[in-house]
């Protein structure tokens, strides 16, 4: 019994003493992150007050964000942090084990907008960050239900929750959920249903905190529905939409695969099922992309808040040849919808001929001259007839630009050296 009592006393003593030493570790890590954030162009974060105690600290910082908008000055935000030191941290909502937990309140300076909006942000936005024992950082971002009304509209935003973990400045894991949005105007209305997102990514090049990171991994974004009303009539609706992305790296070449799907969509009196877009961007030199990333992050900004055009072109010219050397390729492998008359589907393939591209003369004409593309498509004749396109389709079939087999219209096209051919025949634009 005596040994148990001694053990309990030692544990309690350790818990009481540990925060004092952990506090120094938390402050060191905090300063390291501040240095990294201040290396990001357009963001300046300075600490004006740090009051440290045995179990925590109160910190006041000022964040300035430069805006690329001529009508707005830089945004100044006062950040008030309440930091609790570990190893055991008790908050209003949960228990945590870690080095430290910080809750932050934001006070926005005048933004030239309705002060009620600023007050809502300050009141409804809740941010917390947990520093784990292995220096991983988990950020929690919550918003309460927000209602805002002016003379012309009513806006209701449902609660949201986000949790993202940065591990060793290399791995990012996160989830986001939002109950949706309802915006009512005098004659119009926008309704967005439940929104969700999850991601798991890895930094393969650059620095995440400095804003130069290149990431690989997966992400998925979902929304249950979007509806637009005009005079109480629905003019657009989208149900069950999902967007997935996958970035992979193989032999220093990046590939990005995007896929968009939905259950159904209606717009302008037309109704479609299973809209789908599948895009693949491949053979991107990761080293050239990192060079471009870093150079763009270091570009100077002029008095109007924009990048200098001449300097930007120099940066692009310097890496264009390196990127094109690996033969990057863009494919739209599926662009389709299902109509009442049948499926409409197309696919595209785009390349830039590096032998025809003049990297020293970057403009739209240089790109068009070097562009090579091919495409295939098909659509039910009944669908085209419903759109009033039957006479035009019949004319193109007679000229050999389109093929018709039973109720289906098909076409193949190529664009090489500024010449478009359709079904093997030259077509003048």
What is the C-alpha separation between 219 and 200, in angstroms, rounded? 6
Provide φ and ψ at 385, rounded to 5°.
-65, -35
201 close to 188: Cβ distance less than 8 angstroms: no
For the chain, give the mean pLDDT: 82
Predicted model pTM: 0.81
pLDDT > 90? residue 345: yes
Return the C-alpha torsion angle 198, 200, 205, 208, nearest 10.
50
Q: How confident is the model at residue 21 (pLDDT cuts 50, 70, 90)?
A: low
pLDDT digits (tens, 9 = 90+) for 269-311: 788 899 999 999 999 999 988 888 777 766 665 555 566 666 6
Higher pLDDT, 340 or 50: 340
Give exposure, 353-377, as e/b (b: 16+ Cβ within 10 Å).
ebeebebeeeeeebeeebbeeebeb
CB atoms within 10 A of CB 172: 19
Provide φ and ψ at 83, rounded to 5°.
-105, 130
Higher pLDDT, 276 or 49: 276
% of the chain with per-residue pLDDT over 90: 38
What single string gives the DSSP state of each residue in 2-26? Answer: HHHHHHHHHHHHHHHHHHHHHHHHH
Nearest to 26 by CA among 55, 64, 63, 48: 55
pLDDT digits (tens, 9 = 90+) for 99-149: 888 888 877 765 555 667 777 777 888 888 888 888 888 899 999 998 888
pLDDT digits (tens, 9 = 90+) for 156-179: 999 999 999 988 888 999 999 999
Q: How confident is the model at residue 9 (pLDDT cuts 50, 70, 90)?
A: very low
What single string gives the DSSP state of each residue in 335-358? Answer: EEEEETTEEEEEEEEEEE-TTT--
Query: Residue ranges of the domains in the chain?
Result: 1-144, 167-322, 340-429
């Amino acid at each position: 019994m005596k040994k148990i009592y001694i053990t309990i006393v030692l544990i309690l003593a350790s818990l009481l003493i540990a925060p004092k030493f952990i506090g120094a570790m938390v402050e060191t890590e905090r300063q390291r992150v501040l240095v990294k954030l201040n290396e990001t162009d357009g963001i300046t974060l300075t600490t004006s007050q740090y009051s440290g105690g045995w179990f925590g600290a109160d910190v006041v910082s000022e964040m300035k964000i430069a805006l690329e908008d001529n009508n707005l000055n830089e945004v100044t935000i006062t950040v008030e942090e309440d930091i609790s030191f570990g190893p055991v941290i008790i908050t209003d909502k949960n228990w945590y084990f870690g080095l430290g937990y910080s809750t932050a309140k934001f006070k926005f300076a005048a933004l030239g907008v309705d002060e009620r909006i600023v007050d809502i942000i300050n009141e409804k936005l809740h941010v917390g960050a947990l520093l784990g024992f292995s220096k991983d950082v988990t950020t929690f971002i919550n918003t309460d239900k927000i209602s805002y009304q002016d003379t012309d509209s009513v806006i209701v935003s449902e609660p949201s929750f986000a949790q993202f973990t940065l591990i060793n400045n290399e791995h990012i894991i996160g989830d986001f959920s939002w109950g949706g949005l309802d915006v009512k105007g005098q004659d119009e209305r926008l309704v967005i249903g439940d929104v969700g997102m999850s991601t798991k990514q890895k930094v393969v090049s650059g620095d995440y905190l400095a804003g130069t990171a290149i990431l690989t991994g997966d992400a998925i974004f979902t929304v249950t529905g979007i509806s637009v009303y005009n005079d109480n009539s629905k003019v657009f609706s989208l149900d069950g939409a999902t967007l997935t992305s996958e970035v992979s790296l193989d032999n220093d070449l990046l590939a990005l695969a995007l896929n968009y799907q939905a259950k159904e969509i209606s717009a302008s009196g037309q109704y479609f099922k299973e809209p789908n877009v599948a895009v693949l961007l491949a053979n991107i030199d990761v080293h050239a992309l990192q060079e471009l990333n870093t150079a763009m992050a270091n570009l100077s900004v002029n008095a109007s808040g924009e990048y200098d055009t001449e300097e930007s072109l120099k940066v692009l010219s310097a890496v264009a040849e390196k990127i094109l050397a690996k033969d990057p390729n863009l494919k739209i492998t599926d662009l389709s919808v299902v109509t009442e008359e049948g499926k409409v589907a197309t696919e595209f393939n785009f390349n830039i001929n590096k032998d025809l591209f003049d990297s020293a003369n970057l403009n739209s004409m240089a790109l068009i001259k070097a562009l090579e593309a091919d495409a295939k498509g098909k659509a039910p004749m009944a669908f085209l007839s419903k759109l009033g396109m039957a006479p035009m389709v019949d004319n193109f079939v007679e000229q050999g630009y389109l093929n018709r087999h039973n109720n289906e219209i098909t076409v193949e096209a190529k664009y090489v050296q500024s010449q478009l051919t359709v079904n093997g025949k030259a077509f003048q634009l």
